């Protein structure tokens, strides 16, 4: 009996999902909303965890030795963060990097792109 109820629930969920198909226009709206949310999250991460060393505009050499990170592309930044989190590159900024998960790395790297001059 319980199984029947679950099955009925699954069928109506599928039916509902199909009834709820929205036009393509809203897909692109959803994508840009996600981007904006991602950049907002990245900004918060950057200001709380990175700006002290790399500068609020990511335009300083951290400890006089890092690259100016607002000149790096998104992929390069994500790779740099992953390598430091994995301990493949050692640096004084590693604790801040190792706290980030992949999604946060993407977000902070996306935000840094907005700081480019």
Nearer to ligand HEC, 31 or 116 (CB): 116
Q: Residues 6 or more apart from 39 whose CB is under 8 A from it?
A: 107, 110, 111, 114
CB of 43 to ligand HEC, least distance (A): 11
Give CA–CA dist 67/117, Å, rounded.
15
Helix (H) or strand (E) holding 78: helix 74-85
Q: Which stretch binds ligand HEC (CB under 6 A): 2-10, 13-21, 22-30, 49-57?
A: 49-57
Please report, as residue ranges, which positions from 76 to 105 form the binding site for ligand HEC (by CB under 6 A). Answer: 77, 80-81, 84, 89, 91-93, 96-97, 100
Residues that bind ligand HEC (CB under 6 A): 49-50, 52-54, 62-63, 65-67, 69, 72, 77, 80-81, 84, 89, 91-93, 96-97, 100, 108
């Amino acid at each position: 009996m319980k199984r029947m109820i679950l099955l009925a629930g699954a069928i109506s969920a599928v039916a509902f999902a199909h009834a709820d198909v929205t036009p393509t226009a809203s897909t692109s709206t959803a994508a840009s909303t996600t981007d904006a949310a991602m950049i907002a999250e990245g900004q918060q991460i950057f200001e709380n965890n990175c700006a002290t060393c790399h500068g609020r505009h990511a335009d300083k050499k951290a400890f006089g030795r890092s690259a100016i990170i607002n000149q790096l592309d998104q992929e390069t930044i994500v790779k740099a963060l992953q390598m430091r989190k994995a301990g493949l590159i050692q640096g004084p900024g590693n604790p801040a990097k190792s706290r980030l998960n992949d999604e946060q790395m993407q977000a902070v790297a996306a935000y840094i792109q907005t700081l480019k001059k």
